[in-house]
């Protein structure tokens, strides 16, 4: 039929990299940007099918490689509620991406049958990209695939990843009782700014916040957001060079700060100055500061989770609705043991531990009325169930204090991007909480003491033999390795260690923590040796 020919014709423009096998992984497809043309073409085809399958709901396509180096790029699909692509569909993406170009139209037709797509349905797609130089070429490819398959689409140009997730959710809830906001960038800023001002009622941000934008798309977008905040907060934007393409994620950004455990070398922060870093597509956030002795102190995703959970817990109590809301926290094996302890013993909240990867955490968070989830690397958000939204909205306050707490909670449900972890939204959340508590980063850090930890990357011949279970905290294969790890960790005070195959790199990652720096290092080294 006509579409079959249009796909074949359009595909002819591209060349498939030889001998490369593509896989839709934890964060979609991601690799060197010059290998991506045919992959993006395939994703464009699938986005149209996904939309048709869902009766014409809007599907998002984001072109980004997040915190990866500037020469990389990537592409991922966003489902109607702004969530990650349904896991079942990842295999279809993989199948299309690996189809030889002269067969891709056939594979497309096979998929239509296999997935049972009604081709008479409309198809609608929105897309955007980060600031990488390769983005415009890849968006051109996407355009070709959507045009060939007669998909209606809107190009949102440059956006942060969470902004596009927001737009997708808005588009699909427009005119329903779940309306999420205006499906525009301006709508996004207005929603964040308005809710931030509401949350800030009765509080004032102390001092300024310096935000390192990884020289990525978060820089210009944060500058835009600031215009809507009417100086409710003093933000200094640094590392916002999106002109020099090589500067992206280079010696700056959330991933740099988290993995190197140090501030960007360009930082001019004085002791006790509040600093934050975004990653290249602004879906990760970490805080840090230099203490009185000039020592670097990191406040990572675990810290944001504990801060948010404690604040929301207090608000729920003050609002008199604590009994009606099941508040919980979702972490991964990488969460520092001290944070887990603090959540269980001090905050007295339930915890779910899941596999690494946002989709797993997000899914688990939905099991609570208020689900606080963060990966240690700074990706996370808070989800509110329908019941939570109802209770917050419909509770009649019995006192001014109760009313204040309810209003604050209500505003939080708007401030927090519930589709996905959003560094800009999370940043305003943290600022608001610190302001309410009257805390500097020092008090925040003082809530508990992190156990020293070490992360080691181990190159192995075949990482696929490393099979994990129990939320990746244990290994079932290779045989005997788990026993070895357990016997090693038992020798250290508060020792805990695990090894898991990376989902994004050809390596095994080893994590270890213990009561002292030297013990954590030692444990990590020994487990890494056992893995090799
Ligand atoms: C991906 C995940 C991130 C996870 C990381 C782990 C998303 C959007 N991103 O970047 O959440 O922390 O993979 O990488 O899910 P690893 O498997 O190489 O350790
Ligand atoms: Zn990212």
CB atoms within 10 A of CB 136: 11
Please give the number of the atom of ligand 1 that sits closest to the Cα of 505: 18
- Tell me what percent of the residues of the chain surpass a pLDDT of 70: 100
Q: How far is the CA of 126 from the centre of ligand 1 (A)?
A: 24
Q: Are residues 318 and 422 in the same domain?
A: yes
Give the model's confidence band at 231: pLDDT under 50 very low, under 70 low, under 90 confident, else very high: confident
Per-residue model confidence (pLDDT) at position 390: 97
**Residue range 415-461, pLDDT digits in tens:** 999 999 999 999 999 999 999 999 999 999 999 999 999 999 999 99
Please give the number of the atom of ligand 1 that sits closest to the Cα of 377: 12
Averaged pLDDT for residues 366-375: 98
Residue pair 195/412 in contact by the 8 Å Cβ criterion: yes
Residue with tokens 């805080």: 287
Per-residue model confidence (pLDDT) at position 504: 82
Q: Are residues 342 and 258 in the same domain?
A: no
Q: Are residues 348 and 241 in the same domain?
A: no
pLDDT at 525 over 90: yes
The DSSP secondary-structure symbol of 345 reads I
Closest-approaching ligand to the CA atom of 255: 2
Per-residue model confidence (pLDDT) at position 26: 82
**Residue range 270-314, pLDDT digits in tens:** 999 999 999 999 999 999 999 999 999 999 999 999 999 999 999
Segments forming the whole domain that contains residue 65 = 2-158
Distance of CA 39 to the CA centre of its chain: 22
Residue 27, ligand 1, Cβ within 6 A:
yes
Of all protein residues, the one whose alpha carbon is nearest to atom 2 of ligand 1 is 357
Q: How far is the CA of 212 from the centre of ligand 2 (A)?
A: 14
Q: How far apart are CA 300 and CA 302, in angstroms?
A: 5
Per-residue H/E/C for 139-172? HHHHHHHHHHCCCEEEEEEECCHHHHHHHHHHHH
CB atoms within 10 A of CB 209: 21
Per-residue model confidence (pLDDT) at position 245: 86
Q: How far apart are CA 290 and CA 270, in angstroms?
A: 7
Q: How far apart are CA 40 and CA 37, in angstroms?
A: 5
Q: How far is the CA of 27 from the centre of ligand 1 (A)?
A: 6
Q: Are residues 15 and 130 in the same domain?
A: yes
Among 325, 327, 351, residue whose Cα is nearest residue 337: 351
**Residue range 148-198, pLDDT digits in tens:** 999 999 999 999 999 999 999 999 999 999 999 999 999 999 999 999 999
Evaluate whether residue 33 is within a structural domain.
Answer: yes
pLDDT at 503 over 90: no
Q: Are residues 87 and 226 in the same domain?
A: no
Residue 525, ligand 1, Cβ within 6 A:
no
Of all protein residues, the one whose alpha carbon is nearest to atom 3 of ligand 1 is 357
Q: Are residues 140 and 238 in the same domain?
A: no
pLDDT at 512 over 90: yes
**Domain finish residue from 252, 274, 295:** 295
Residue of 8, 51, 55, 66 marked active site: 66
pLDDT at 531 over 90: yes
Q: CA–CA distance from 287 to each of 300, 323, 378 (Å)?
A: 6, 32, 9
Distance of CA 108 to the CA centre of its chain: 30
Give the model's confidence band at 226: pLDDT under 50 very low, under 70 low, under 90 confident, else very high: very high
The partner residues of 381 in beta bridges, in order of sequence, read 373
CATH number of the structural domain spanning residue 483: 3.30.310.50
Q: How far apart are CA 5 and CA 44, in angstroms?
A: 16
3-state secondary structure of 297: strand
CATH number of the structural domain spanning residue 223: 3.40.120.10
Closest-approaching ligand to the CA atom of 28: 1
Among 470, 500, 474, residue whose Cα is nearest residue 352: 470
Evaluate whether residue 67 is within a structural domain.
Answer: yes
Supply the pTM of this predicted model.
Answer: 0.96
Q: Quick check: is 66 catalytic?
A: yes
**Domain finish residue from 445, 478, 498:** 445
Q: Are residues 333 and 245 in the same domain?
A: no
Evaluate whether residue 174 is within a structural domain.
Answer: no
Evaluate whether residue 104 is within a structural domain.
Answer: yes
Tokens (6 digits) for 106: 């056939």
Residue pair 219/276 in contact by the 8 Å Cβ criterion: no
Averaged pLDDT for residues 56-63: 98
Q: Are residues 8 and 154 in the same domain?
A: yes
| Complete edge-to-edge strand list for the sheet that includes strand 370-374 | 351-354, 327-332, 370-374, 380-384
Evaluate whether residue 178 is within a structural domain.
Answer: no
Evaluate whether residue 166 is within a structural domain.
Answer: no
Give the model's confidence band at 1: pLDDT under 50 very low, under 70 low, under 90 confident, else very high: confident
Residue 309, ligand 1, Cβ within 6 A:
no
With the most atoms of ligand 1 within 8 angstroms of its CB, the residue from 77, 501, 504 to mutate is 504
Evaluate whether residue 227 is within a structural domain.
Answer: yes
Q: How far apart are CA 378 and CA 299, in angstroms?
A: 9
Residues in Cβ contact with 438 at an 8 Å cutoff, skipping those fewer than 6 apart: 206
Q: Are residues 436 and 392 in the same domain?
A: yes
With the most atoms of ligand 1 within 8 angstroms of its CB, the residue from 24, 26, 284, 302 to mutate is 26
Per-residue model confidence (pLDDT) at position 403: 97
Q: What is the mean pLDDT of the chain?
A: 97
Evaluate whether residue 179 is within a structural domain.
Answer: no
Please give the number of the atom of ligand 1 that sits closest to the Cα of 504: 18
H/E element holding 32?
strand 29-32
Q: How far is the CA of 213 from the centre of ligand 2 (A)?
A: 12
Q: Are residues 319 and 460 in the same domain?
A: no
**Domain finish residue from 383, 415, 445:** 445
Residues in Cβ contact with 284 at an 8 Å cutoff, skipping those fewer than 6 apart: 66, 67, 254, 255, 278, 301, 377, 378, 379, 421, 423
Q: Are residues 120 and 223 in the same domain?
A: no
Per-residue model confidence (pLDDT) at position 256: 97
3-state secondary structure of 16: coil
Among 498, 508, 503, 511, residue whose Cα is nearest residue 470: 498
With the most atoms of ligand 1 within 8 angstroms of its CB, the residue from 23, 25, 27 to mutate is 27
Domain count, the chain: 4
Q: Are residues 327 and 428 in the same domain?
A: yes
Residue 337, ligand 1, Cβ within 6 A:
no
Among 108, 128, 127, residue whose Cα is nearest residue 52: 108
3-state secondary structure of 394: helix
Q: How far is the CA of 27 from the centre of ligand 2 (A)?
A: 9
Distance of CA 372 to the CA centre of its chain: 13
């Amino acid at each position: 039929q006509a579409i079959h020919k249009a796909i074949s014709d359009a595909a002819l423009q591209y060349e498939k990299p030889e001998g490369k096998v593509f896989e839709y992984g934890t964060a979609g497809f991601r690799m060197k940007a010059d290998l991506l043309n045919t992959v993006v073409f395939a994703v464009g085809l699938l986005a149209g099918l996904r939309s048709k399958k869902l009766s014409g709901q809007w599907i998002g396509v984001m072109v980004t490689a997040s915190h990866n180096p500037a020469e990389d790029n990537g592409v991922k699909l966003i489902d109607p509620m702004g969530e990650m692509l349904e896991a079942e569909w990842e295999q279809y993406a993989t199948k299309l991406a690996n189809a030889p170009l002269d067969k891709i139209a056939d594979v497309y037709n096979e998929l239509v049958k296999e997935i049972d797509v009604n081709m008479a349905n409309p198809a609608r797609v929105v897309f955007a990209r980060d600031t990488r130089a390769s983005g415009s070429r890849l968006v051109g490819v996407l355009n070709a695939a959507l045009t060939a398959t007669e998909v209606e689409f809107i190009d949102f140009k440059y956006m942060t990843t969470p902004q596009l997730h927001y737009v997708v959710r808005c588009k699909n809830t427009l005119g329903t009782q779940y309306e999420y906001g205006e499906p525009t960038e301006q709508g996004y800023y207005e929603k964040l700014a308005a809710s931030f001002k509401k949350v800030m009622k009765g509080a004032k941000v102390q001092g300024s916040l310096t935000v390192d934008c990884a020289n990525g798309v978060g820089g210009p977008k944060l500058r835009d957001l600031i215009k809507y905040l009417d100086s409710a907060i003093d933000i200094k934007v640094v590392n916002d060079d999106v002109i020099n393409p090589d500067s992206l994620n280079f010696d700056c950004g959330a991933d740099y700060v988290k993995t190197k455990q140090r501030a960007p070398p360009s930082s001019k922060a004085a002791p006790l100055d509040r600093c934050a870093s975004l990653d290249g597509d602004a879906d990760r956030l970490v805080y840090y500061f230099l203490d009185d002795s000039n020592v670097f102190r990191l406040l990572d995703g675990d810290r944001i989770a504990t801060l948010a959970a404690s604040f929301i817990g207090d608000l729920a109590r003050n609002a008199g609705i604590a009994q009606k809301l099941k508040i919980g926290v979702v972490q991964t094996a990488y969460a520092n043991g001290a944070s887990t302890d603090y959540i269980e013993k001090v905050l007295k909240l339930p915890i779910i531990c899941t596999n690494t990867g946002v989709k797993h955490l997000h899914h688990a968070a939905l099991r609570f009325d208020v689900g606080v989830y963060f990966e240690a690397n700074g990706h996370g958000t808070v989800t509110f169930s329908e019941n939570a939204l109802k209770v917050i909205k419909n509770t009649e306050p019995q006192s001014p204090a109760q009313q204040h707490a309810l209003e604050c909670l209500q505003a939080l449900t708007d401030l927090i991007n519930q589709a996905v972890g959003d560094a800009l939204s999370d940043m305003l959340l943290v600022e608001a909480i610190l302001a309410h508590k009257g805390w500097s980063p020092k008090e925040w850090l003082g809530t508990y003491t992190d156990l020293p930890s070490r992360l080691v990357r181990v190159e192995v011949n075949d990482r696929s033999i490393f099979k994990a279970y129990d939320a990746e905290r244990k290994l079932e294969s290779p045989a005997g390795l788990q026993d070895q790890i357990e016997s090693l960790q038992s020798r250290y005070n508060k020792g805990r260690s695990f090894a898991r195959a990376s989902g994004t790199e050809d390596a095994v990652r080893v994590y270890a923590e213990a009561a002292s720096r030297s013990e954590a290092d030692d444990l990590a080294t020994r487990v890494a040796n056992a893995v090799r």
